[in-house]
Every structure is written in C-alpha cells, then in structure tokens.
Structure 1
Amino acid sequence: MTDRSERGHDPRGGSPLSVTQEQLWLLDRVDPGNASYNSPMMWRLDGRLDPEPLARALETVVRRQEMLRAYVVSADGVPHQVVADEVPLPLEVTDLTDLPEADREAATERILAEAAHRPFDLGRPPLFRVALIRTGPERHVMALVIHHIVSDGWSLQVLLQEVADLYAGFVTGTEVTLPPLTAQFTDYARMQRERLAGPRGEALAAYWTRQLAGAPVDLGLPGDRPRPPVADFAGDRYVFQVPEALRTKLVALARSHKASLFMVTLAGFVSLLSRLTGRQDLLVGTPVGNRDKPEWGPLVGYFADTLVIRGDVGGDPSFRELLGRTRATVLAGFVHRDLPFRALVEKLQPERAANRNPLFQVMFILQNIPARRRRAEMPGVVMTRLDDVRATSIFDVRFDLFQFEDELRGQLEYSTQLFDRATIERMAAQYLALLTDACADPDRPVSALSLGEAHADAAGFNDALEEV
C-alpha cells in the first residue's frame, strides 16, 4: 500500500470525530479551558542535546502524523476535525543556566507545571506542545504535553520513538526512513461510525444492556469528606512498590488459573472495593487500546476507550472463585469492547450528576512497560522518564499498576475533594495485605482476607514484607 499522501487524500474537507473524541469536545464546550485532559510526559535528558535537529525531528513527525495538525470546527453544532497543511512548531525552549543553581529546580518545576496545565483551544492547532529547558551544559528537561482528543498513552510512545529515531539520523548524518503510514486516525473514526450504525452496533448495545442491567451506578466508596455538588478534578497521587515476593506469587497464581496478571490484580481490587463499600455488585472502569489492526499501531490518535467491568462478589466466594468470575467477565468484555463508552452511557441513560462520573467512579489499569520506555537513548543523550506534574484526578480513584520486566509498581491517583492522603496510603496497604493473603490461601472467602493493620502505612508494609 502507498502512503496516504500519495493517494490523493485531502484532509482539509473535515472528517467526523470518533465517538470518544466527540465526548471530549462536548466536555470542553461545557467547561472551556479545563486542562484535565492534557496528557504530559516528562523526561530528563543527560548529554549533549542539540535543539536544532530535535526541532527538525518534530517538524518531520508533525508532517507525518495528521492528528498533530488536527483541530475541531463546529457547523450547526456538529463537530468535525480538520487537518491543517502546516502548523507552528510547538517547541518552547528556555535556558536557565544564567540562574543560580539553587533557583533552577524551582524554575524548572514552575515551567513544567505551566506547560502541563496551560489549556488548549481545540479550535486552533497544534494541540500539543514541547517544552525544552536547559539547566546545565549537558542537562535538559523536556515536557511533551498533548490533548487527549488527538492522542492516547500509546500515541505518546509512538511520537517519542519517531522523534528519537529521526533525531539520531539528523545528528549522525544517517538517513532514517520511517515506515509509510497506510492509514490515519480519521480513517479509524469513519470506520467506527460506520460499524456502530450497522448490525454490529446493535449487537454490541444489546450485550452491554444485558450485562449491566440493574448494576449500581454509584459505588459509594467512603471518603473523608462528603461529595461536593460539583467536581473540580483537583487531585494528587501516591506511589508504592509491590514487593518482589508478592509479585512472583501473583504471576504464579495467574498462570495456574490460565488467567492474566491483570485478572488477578483486578480481582484483588474488586475484593478490596467490596470490603470498603459493603457492596457485592460493583462497576470498575478499565481502558482498552482498540488498535486491533496493524495499520493503527504506528499512528498518533485517540484510539483508547473505556471498558466497564462488573464485579460480582455475591455469595462471599473464595478468591479462587472470584478470580474465575473476573476472568470470564473480562474475556467477554474484551470480545464486546467495540462499543464506545459514550455510546454505552447514551444507551443505558444512567442517572447523571455533576459531581461524579456516570456508571463508575474508580478506574483500574495494569500497564506493561518495556524497559526501553523507562529509559531511552539518543546519540549522546540518555533519556530518563520523570513523574509528571499533574495535580488532577478525573475519577474518585484511579489505580494504576505498572508491570516492568522485574518489578510491579502501584500508583493511586485520587480526588483531593474526597480523600486525604493518609486514607489513600491505607488503601494501598490494605490492597497489598489482601493480595498477600489471597496468594497464601486462594480458597479463603473474600470476606475473610486480611486487610492488615487498620492504620498500616504502605511503605512500612512493604518493608515488613521484604524482611520476611
């Protein structure tokens, strides 16, 4: 197949948004300037970085990936995405080497926070920016910030890898030819709309209507404060380590039940939520990639969507039985994952409220992170991923597990309107205690699994487990 640019494709006529893109556009119309859907990625760059080939690499990728030139226009209330022929290079370079060294860190944090939180105007491209900060002769910090409407987590890695490959070619004088793109995200958006309008869309809607019939749409997770009338998305995060001994047992438990690590850790999370809320029937969200065709893999675009998992703890099952239920629910859900979350909400019409997400309020994610995504290299430069500086939380709690080659790390992103940090630290400790007990005796009823000390600190719990 030939490159789309060679097939007479004219992006200037406008294309439909995908269903998930349209949801973000509607949210932006309700609350313009909300930066909650900014996706930042931060890197420390050690070595001799040359900004000029970096800029050339960015320009090349922007020409290659349509979504980096896309913006949204509305005609009679109907949004379309338009791809500009050219956009300004969104590289913002700041040199802090004239500042006293003691002041550089604070200035760097201030610039990174501003880059991450500055709103995008969805009607003006580009919908991403790159902030490059020089903090020393061979020290830089780089922030890539992109609006979710044109990207997802996979897209960030695609963008970074293409920039790194091109930079290497420009610096060394070696010709780098990226594989031609045989499709663009606008093709996916059109395909999605066509699919949902046909029999497949009807079958998907029927499945999810049956699957979620009668499910409670409010989890009722106890907070430290009453839920305010309107969510402000203010948030914070807590990071913890899963002990290696526990990680190894979780992997073995998954293997023995022909399940994935995601299924085991999700069953643990469902168990914990049931214990904390007293609910036996509950809903949890988890993302899906939706890149099931080879041509979608190398694209920047918002392919990801949300799958709703119904946790069933009825009858006080053993953890082994709950894992079996979770496995079956996850497998069936992934078979029917093509129905966008927004279409699901429109179909089910749950009671809506300005202070909570519809259908579910907690998200559970397990991400497999290859080693190269934690630490990458360009010629003369070592790149190390930094924690981003967001202070937002779209959900009450978002529970991430990051699976590296030899470790498992957890992160709880939470609403500070609802929870104190001590409560979230305790939740992490309870989760680790519950999983440890489940691995020791998977036939024990979920209601009998230990949550550890009532006020256990997750860091202290980690230390204690490491000593065993």
Structure 2
Amino acid sequence: MAGRTGEPVRARADSDAPPAPPAHDRPTAAGVASVYRDVLGLDGCAEDESFFRLGGDSFHAARALAVLARRHGVRLPLAEMYRDSSPAAVAGGLRALMDRPRPRRSITSLARRRRTWFPLSLSQESFYAMDRATGGAGLFNNVGRLTLRGDIDPTALRQALADAVRRQPALRTVFGEEDGRAVQRFTEQDAPRIDTCDLRTHNGAALLRRHIREQHLRGFDLHAEPPVRFVLARTADREWTLLTAVHHIVFDGMSQSLLLDEIARAYAHRVGAAPECAAPDFTYADFAYWQRDTLRGDRLEEHLHGLAEAVRHTPSPIVGDGGLGEGYTSRIRPFGVDDAVVRKLRHRASLHDTTVFVGLVAAVLEFAARRAGGTRQLVAVQAANRGLPGTEDVIGCFSNTLYVSGDARPSSDPEERLAKTRDDVARALRHEEMPLDHALGLLAGRGTGTACRPQIGFALQPPRHQARELPGGVLEAEYLLQRGDTVDPTTFPLVLELFAEPGGLSGVSHHRLAVWPDGAFEEAERQLTSAFAYMTST
C-alpha cells in the first residue's frame, strides 16, 4: 500500500529503530495523591485514602489514570482501582508496570499516518457491518441540540465548527473497502456541511421538532461523506440552535463532552477571546493500529479465556423462554432513579470502596435474580475503554461492551450483593480493552460460548445536559433520546440507559416487543424500580 506521498511504507529495521522513550519519574503515593486532589478538587488526600470514598466515580478515575499515564509512561487498568484505589496501591501498581519489559513497535506512528487508508478498529467493525446490513439507516445516530444564547456571532460559530472538525480527524472520516476489508481515511475537507435556517416564525417550534426527527432518521453514506452533519437554526433574536448528528462508528458517550469543549474553545478563539488550540498529537488512527498490534498472542488468549469463563453458564431468561422472538422492534420508555436513592446508593458504594456504577449493576443483577432465579446471570455493561494515554482528548469510537457475570439468586442482604458485584465488575474490567463482538467471533470459531448471551444491557452515560460559557453568551447542550417504537439491531430483551443528572439518574429503557407480551413490561418496570430501592435498604 502506498503512502500519501506515493512512497511505500516500510517497517523499520533494527538499525533504524526509534530512540528509546524518555525516562519517567518513579510513581510515589504522594504524587498519586496530588493527582487525586487535582481531579476531584480537594484540599487534601491521605496516601491510604480510597479514591471512591473521596467522591470519585469511574469517569474521574479514568481521568486520573490518564494523567498518571502521561506522567509515568504506563497505564494502570481501571480494574486495579476497583481492587484498591488508595494512592499507595496505585503507585505500587504503576511501579510494577514500569519494571516490566516493553514491546517494540515495528512501524512508527509517523509512517502510519502517511497511509491514505488505515484499518478500522476492532470496535468499529461491528458498527460498519450493521450499517452495511441496514443500508445506512439512521440507527446509530447520536443527536444533540445545542442552544446558544446571548451576543452570538454566527460567522465565528461556523468557523468554530470547521475548526473542531479539523482538530478531530474522526469527524472527517470516510470509509471504503480494499482487498475485501473495510478501511477508513481522514479527508482534508475545508469545512463541514452546515445547513442553516431561520425558525423565528409562529410555527418555528414545530419545524425544529421536524429537523430533530430528520436527524434521528436520516442515515449516513459512510463511503461518500464524513459521518457528521450540523443544522444551525436562528430561533430568536438572541438565540441559535445547533443540531449535531454523528454516527456512532466515530463517536461514543465521552465524545459528547469533548465535542462541546472543542466548539466552545474554537468559538472563543474565533471571536478573539482565546488563543488557538493545537490539534491533539494522538489520533484515532493511532488507536486502531495500537489495538491491532496489542490484542494478539498471549494477551489475546488471556482475554478469550476470561470471556469464555464468563459465558460458561447459560443465564436464565428474565422473560418468556428467553428466545428472541420475531422482529427487532423495541419500545423506548422513560426511566429514572430519583436523587434520594442515588445519594444513598453512592454513600453505600463509597463505604465499599467502589462507585455508584457498581451499585447500579448490583441493582440490575438483583432485578434479574428476582425475575429468573438460577445460579448465574449475565449483564452486558458499557465501558469507556479510554485507558490508553492520549485517548482522553480524542473524539472516536472507543467504548466497549463487557459481560458482568454475577450471582443470580435473590439476595437477602444488599451489602452482600454490592460486595459481590464489586468483585464481578472488577473481574469484567480486566477485559475492557477487548472488543466483545470480535472476541465472541473468535470464540465461535473455536466452538466456545456462542449461545450464551445476556438478557439485559446496561449503560451509565455522562450527563445529557451540559453547559459551557462563551464570550458574550452561554452554550447549553442536550443529547436527545428517541421515544416510542424503533428498530433495534441488538439482541437484548431489555436495555437500560441512564444519564447522570442533578436530580438523580434519568434515561430510557428499551424492551423488545417480540419477547414482552402486552402489559408484561409494566410489571417488570415496577420490579426494576424496587430493585434499585432495595440496594439502599438497611
């Protein structure tokens, strides 16, 4: 394959090896404690203090680990923080990693970036296959509504969108096929497509709803256009609404906040209130190559062995006979957990040196146990998978699905349920870097674990509502969820998606109509709410 300049890309010979990486300071407990203080905004942190008891959650933990990875040149898996999150333990884990021999790379990042096409990440392959199978339908669109109020300069805003797309190459990706395999490349387009309209009319609200619905339904031609589009609407004299639609193949939950940061910083620069930001050194191409370089040999076998153990027992069905039924139509309904329950659950989780996410998974397992019984249950959970240094600032498809295998017998003690789930989640997080669909495909080829699929999917996402200060105004963002009936390509009878909000957790449930008889899901909803309340009971 030729590079951008027409020169062939070659592997480095030993005599042309890159220089040794720079020496990094040895981690100390005091140094880790200082990172905790910065990330959590604290005045102090003892060397034996639990990160989670200090108020940290999985999002803060990932940020702290990213800072430590840049500082010390090694990354500690998030699973290790679930075992012991004290600064002393984390520093010890980092030192142990620094003492291990490091693998060499056969091709430098610079050489790789010269390639016109580069492979899909393993995480992207499933989305690409489903997109092809559905004819590019809008099943994987992430839609956001950004409201900008104040003295907004529309020309500067358009320029800021172009800057954001230029800084984040994933937003200007196009896909293709070469030698029978899917590939992708970053285009050099000058500016993204931005449709504009004026909705300062008596039926402006209805027209805006129509635009939102179109962004949900209209798919992308991944071979012909970048997987992002914008609609900029004037909705009042001092108000603009920006609709964003991005395909999941280049966008995950953490990318939502990153896109807001990019737009706000670029806008401030374009109106002369801030300096221009340099583009991140790390790109999604680096991640795709790293993933394929890394997930092989003994490391791959370790992940496959762990997943095979997780799916060894078939979970009992939570509804009907557990079959998929006919059709892929799911009904989306609002679902929430009120603030009082969340506060109690967060407190109980901190006493067990863990996060509210683990408490929520424990509640989902308790719900499954009450519905199905049995000995083991599987819950598919979403993980950020941004442990590799550099990924924390990059828009892209990094998130991964993990199988949490837990006790499926109803518990008489919520403390015991939480403690067991903490261990179950930590065990699953050992495989955060392994794309699940890719692993299942490899196991199927070996005749292992093909029929053992979870009954429930669960995701805890960043807040749906966020705000950024702008020169002369404010940006308020909401990522929009669909309601009603929709086509869902997943196989789970039930998916629960929750977002952190000031008043608790709010989100939606998706239940497959083919497997829930009329009225059956209403009872399941009550049981699910009861399971969350149970996890805070004494």
Structure 2 length-normalised TM = 0.72
User: Secondary structure in 1 aligned to 2:386?
Assistant: coil
Instruction: Answer yes or no: is 1:166 the counterpart of 2:269.
Output: no
Instruction: Answer yes or no: is 1:300 the counterpart of 2:395.
Output: yes
Out of 201, 221, 226, the residue aligned to residue 319 of structure 2 is 221
**Change in CA separation of 1:296 and 1:207 when aligned onto 2, cut-off 3 Å:** same
Distance in 1, matches of 2:165 and 2:294, equals: 29
Out of 445, 467, 470, the residue aligned to residue 378 of structure 1 is 470
1:119 equivalent in structure 2 = 219
User: Secondary structure in 2 aligned to 1:343?
Assistant: helix
Aligned partner of 1:131: which letter? V
Cα deviation digits, residues 2-25 of structure 1 (max 9, x gap)? xxxx95764552111111111111
1:259 equivalent in structure 2 = 354
In 1, are the aligned partners of 2:170 and 2:186 still within 8 Å (CA)?
Answer: yes
Distance in 1, matches of 2:112 and 2:513, equals: 47
Cα deviation digits, residues 163-216 of structure 1 (max 9, x gap)? 111112212x23423244121111111111111122211111112112321233
Out of 214, 219, 243, the residue aligned to residue 143 of structure 1 is 243
Aligned partner of 1:285: which letter? A
Distance in 2, matches of 1:200 and 1:351, equals: 19
1:49 CA drift (Å): 2.5
Cα deviation digits, residues 392-444 of structure 1 (max 9, x gap)? 4545332233334x542232231463459976565444333333344233xxx
**Change in CA separation of 1:434 and 1:361 when aligned onto 2, cut-off 3 Å:** closer
Distance in 2, matches of 1:268 and 1:154, equals: 24
Instruction: Answer yes or no: is 1:134 the counterpart of 2:230.
Output: no
1:200 equivalent in structure 2 = 299
Distance in 1, matches of 2:372 and 2:237, equals: 54
Aligned partner of 2:294: which letter? R
Distance in 2, matches of 1:84 and 1:11, equals: 13
Aligned partner of 2:332: which letter? D
1:403 equivalent in structure 2 = 500
1:62 equivalent in structure 2 = 165
1:466 equivalent in structure 2 = none
In 2, are the aligned partners of 1:399 and 1:410 still within 8 Å (CA)?
Answer: no
1:88 CA drift (Å): 4.9
Distance in 1, matches of 2:114 and 2:513, equals: 43
User: Secondary structure in 1 aligned to 2:390?
Assistant: helix
Q: How many pairs align? A: 422
Distance in 2, matches of 1:182 and 1:34, equals: 33
Cα deviation digits, residues 91-149 of structure 1 (max 9, x gap)? 1111122x3x2x11111100111022211011122110111121221222221110111
Distance in 1, matches of 2:317 and 2:245, equals: 32
Out of 472, 492, 510, the residue aligned to residue 414 of structure 1 is 510
Instruction: Answer yes or no: is 1:40 the counterpart of 2:40.
Output: no
Instruction: Answer yes or no: is 1:362 the counterpart of 2:456.
Output: yes
Give runs of ≥4 in structure 1 deviating > 6 Å: 350-353
Aligned partner of 2:370: which letter? R
In 1, are the aligned partners of 2:313 and 2:376 still within 8 Å (CA)?
Answer: no
**Change in CA separation of 1:82 and 1:421 when aligned onto 2, cut-off 3 Å:** farther
Aligned partner of 1:263: which letter? V
Structure 2: tracts of 5 or more residues without a match: 1-20, 22-108
User: Secondary structure in 2 aligned to 1:439?
Assistant: coil
1:450 equivalent in structure 2 = none
Between stretches 57-66 and 360-369, larger displacement belongs to 360-369
Distance in 2, matches of 1:315 and 1:403, equals: 27
Aligned partner of 2:303: which letter? L
Aligned partner of 1:299: which letter? V
Between stretches 375-384 and 182-191, larger displacement belongs to 375-384
Out of 199, 208, 215, the residue aligned to residue 108 of structure 1 is 208
Aligned partner of 2:293: which letter? E
**Change in CA separation of 1:259 and 1:307 when aligned onto 2, cut-off 3 Å:** same
Out of 441, 451, 458, the residue aligned to residue 346 of structure 1 is 441
In 2, are the aligned partners of 1:19 and 1:193 still within 8 Å (CA)?
Answer: yes
1:230 equivalent in structure 2 = 327
In 1, are the aligned partners of 2:381 and 2:401 still within 8 Å (CA)?
Answer: yes
1:288 equivalent in structure 2 = 383
What RMSD in Å do the two structures reach over aligned CA positions? Answer: 2.9
Structure 1 length-normalised TM = 0.82
Cα deviation digits, residues 299-340 of structure 1 (max 9, x gap)? 111111111111212485632222222111111111222221
In 2, are the aligned partners of 1:238 and 1:425 still within 8 Å (CA)?
Answer: no
1:360 CA drift (Å): 2.4
1:361 CA drift (Å): 4.2
Distance in 1, matches of 2:405 and 2:522, equals: 25
Instruction: Answer yes or no: is 1:323 the counterpart of 2:418.
Output: yes
In 1, are the aligned partners of 2:198 and 2:235 still within 8 Å (CA)?
Answer: yes
Instruction: Answer yes or no: is 1:436 the counterpart of 2:533.
Output: yes
1:67 CA drift (Å): 1.0
Instruction: Answer yes or no: is 1:15 the counterpart of 2:118.
Output: yes
In 1, are the aligned partners of 2:255 and 2:396 still within 8 Å (CA)?
Answer: yes
Distance in 2, matches of 1:58 and 1:51, equals: 11
**Change in CA separation of 1:226 and 1:212 when aligned onto 2, cut-off 3 Å:** closer
Distance in 1, matches of 2:535 and 2:422, equals: 16
Distance in 1, matches of 2:380 and 2:369, equals: 15
Aligned partner of 2:286: which letter? D
Distance in 2, matches of 1:427 and 1:181, equals: 46
1:242 CA drift (Å): 0.9
Distance in 2, matches of 1:239 and 1:46, equals: 30
User: Secondary structure in 2 aligned to 1:440?
Assistant: coil
Out of 183, 206, 211, the residue aligned to residue 282 of structure 2 is 183
1:87 CA drift (Å): 5.7
User: Secondary structure in 2 aligned to 1:156?
Assistant: helix
Aligned partner of 2:231: which letter? A
In 1, are the aligned partners of 2:332 and 2:511 still within 8 Å (CA)?
Answer: yes
**Change in CA separation of 1:309 and 1:440 when aligned onto 2, cut-off 3 Å:** same
In 2, are the aligned partners of 1:112 and 1:389 still within 8 Å (CA)?
Answer: no
Distance in 2, matches of 1:23 and 1:438, equals: 35
In 2, are the aligned partners of 1:112 and 1:131 still within 8 Å (CA)?
Answer: no
Identity of aligned residues (%): 25
In 2, are the aligned partners of 1:159 and 1:300 still within 8 Å (CA)?
Answer: yes
1:293 CA drift (Å): 2.7
Between stretches 420-429 and 305-314, larger displacement belongs to 420-429
User: Secondary structure in 2 aligned to 1:320?
Assistant: helix
**Change in CA separation of 1:215 and 1:317 when aligned onto 2, cut-off 3 Å:** farther
Out of 146, 161, 178, the residue aligned to residue 75 of structure 1 is 178
Distance in 2, matches of 1:157 and 1:204, equals: 30
Distance in 1, matches of 2:459 and 2:251, equals: 18
